[in-house]
Structure 1
Amino acid sequence: MPVIDTKQDLDGLKFTLVAEFDAPVERVWQIWEDPRQLERWWGPPEWPATFSKHEFTPGGKASYYMTGPDGETAGGWWKFTTIEAPNKLVFEDGFADDDGEPVADMGTTYATVTLESVGGRTRMTTESRFESAEQLEKMFEMGMVEGMQSAMGQIDAILAETASV
């Protein structure tokens, strides 16, 4: 399992997940910039993602939906705010309705992903910041922690393949 640490900071409204991979930073960066690779791991195996939009530039947007085991779907959106290849990615993240529009009452999560080389491996730190304690609790109740750990568990197989980008 690539996840080496998780931290829940309820007072600071943050959740941090740290994973390490046997691949160079540039290769791990590709799993974020290439939507076809991204959709192979974003979401746990039983809820695979499909990206219909992926404008990987500052100010760009992404739209996706995840499909559950019974065929139900859950939509999501991102707005990229910072892209510093191949080390830092910052984006806003939220739920979307069937038309791809943000679901306001679910709030926005603010994600920061950093990639660093550590002893020939890549350490990926993903920090999620929440707007309120209620939002954080709701996300934890929905299984965010387990879902992210499960999703990260799919990355090694993708990294082992030759990059398609």
Structure 2
Amino acid sequence: MNTNLTFDFTVNKETNTVHVKKEFAAGLALVWDAYTKPELLDQWWGPKPWFTKTKSMEFIEGGRRLYAMCGPEGQEHWALADFTSISPKTNFKFLSGFCDKDGNINKEMPRSVWNIDFVDKENTTFVDIAIKHETLANLEQLLVMGFKEGFTIALNGLDKLFANT
């Protein structure tokens, strides 16, 4: 496995944005599928020992993914991704937020706008993720909840998934 792949996680408190740049040792089609197909998302979108289970997903503009982050002791934390823009194998955007198991948004928790770009680099694929929060307080709340650590673990799990395909 190539260990010299790009990984950068930065927080810009002036723009309330998290920026994650990650290079994967896999082709563009496979990386795109890993981000857009529920059967693959559920294999890595969550920091182990946590995992996700998708209740429903319609990957189209105006569609959504409703899923639970499941803990090792049976905990379930529900989340929703509302897809706002899709350019196949290049980019997609969604509005992310916490919700209940029926997809009703938890208004006590912040939502964020995700913009994910995919770039084919011949033998690798570069993924550039910008996560914009409405306020600095919302950004800081997510960071205190362990977002950086959890998302880093999840992305490392995606590396493992690609190594096994």
Report the TM-score when normalising by structure 2: 0.92
**SS of residue paired to 1:106:** coil
Q: Do residues 148 (structure 1) and 151 (structure 2) align?
A: yes
Aligned mate of 2:92, from 89, 96, 99:
89
Please point out which of 63, 67, 85 is paired with 1:64: 67
Distance 2:63 2:36 in 1: 12
The AA in structure 2 aligned to 1:57 is: I
Q: Which residue of 1 aligns with 2:139?
A: 136
Cα distance in 1, alignment partners of residues 48 and 96 from structure 2: 20
Mapped to 2, the partners of 1:14 and 1:119 lie a distance apart of 29
Percent identity for Structure 1 against Structure 2? 27
The count of residues paired between Structure 1 and Structure 2 equals 162
Q: Distance in 1 between matches of 2:45 and 2:127?
A: 14
Question: Which residue type is aligned with residue 9 of structure 1?
Answer: N
Which of 101, 106, 129 is residue 103 of structure 1 equivalent to?
A: 106
Question: How far apart, in 2, do the equivalents of 1:133 and 1:116 lie?
Answer: 29
1:8 match? 11
Structure 1: how far apart are the matches of 2:126 and 2:112? 22
Q: Secondary structure at the match of 1:100?
A: coil
Contact kept? 1:3, 1:152, Cα under 8 Å = no
**Which one-letter code corresponds to 2:115 in the other structure?**
T
Instruction: State the shift of 1:161 in Å.
Output: 4.6
User: Secondary structure, in 3 states, of the residue corresponding to 1:103?
Assistant: coil
Q: CA RMSD in A?
A: 1.5
Q: TM-score, normalised by structure 1?
A: 0.92
Deviation of the 1:100 alpha carbon: 2.5
Contact 2:27 2:122 survives alignment (8 Å): no
Q: Give the conservation status (yes or no) of the 8 Å contact 2:20–2:130.
A: yes
Match of 1:121 in 2: 124
1:38 aligns with one of 21, 37, 41: 41
Question: Which amino acid in the other structure matches residue 115 of structure 1?
Answer: F
Give the partner amino acid of 2:132.
Answer: R
